[in-house]
Amino acid sequence: MTTAHIRELRNAPAMLPLFAKAVLRAGVKPGKSPALPDIGVRLRDVVLDQKHLATYRKVCAFPADKYLPITYPHLHAHPLFMSLLLHADFPFAAMGLVHVRNRITQYRRINEREQLDVECRFGELVQVEKGFEFSILTSVSTAGELVWESESTMFRRGGGTGGGQDRKAPATPAPVTDFEQWKVPGDTGRRYGAVSGDRNPIHLYPLTAKLFGFKRQIVHGMWSKARCLAALHDQLPEGPFTVDVQFKLPMFIPATVKFAHEQSAGGIDFRLLASDGVKPHLSGSVQSAV
Distances (CA, A) of 164 to 57, 127, 161: 42, 14, 9
Q: What is the pLDDT of residues 48-94, one digit of tens each?
A: 999 999 999 999 999 999 999 999 999 999 999 999 999 999 999 88
Please give the Cα distance from 185 to 256 (Å, whole number): 9
Rounded to a whole number, what is the distance in angstroms from the first to the last CA of the chain? 19
% of the chain surpassing 90 pLDDT: 73
Predicted confidence band at 165 (pLDDT cuts at 50, 70, 90)? low
The upper half-sphere exposure of residue 16, i.e. CA atoms within 13 Å in the direction of its Cβ, equals 1
Number of other residues whose CB lies within 10 A of the CB of residue 130: 16
Convert the pLDDT of each residue in 225-259 to its tens digit. Answer: 999 999 999 999 989 999 999 999 999 999 999 99
pLDDT in tens, 104-124: 999 999 999 999 999 999 999
Nearest-angstrom CA–CA distance, 127 and 161: 7
Domains of the chain from N-terminus onward: 1-163 (3.10.129.10), 171-290 (3.10.129.10)
Q: How far apart are CA 225 and CA 193, in angstroms?
A: 15
Q: Is the pLDDT of residue 2 over 50?
A: no
Evaluated on CA atoms 233, 237, 242, 247, the torsion sign reads negative
pLDDT at 164: 63
Tell me: the pLDDT tens digits for 254-263? 999 999 999 9
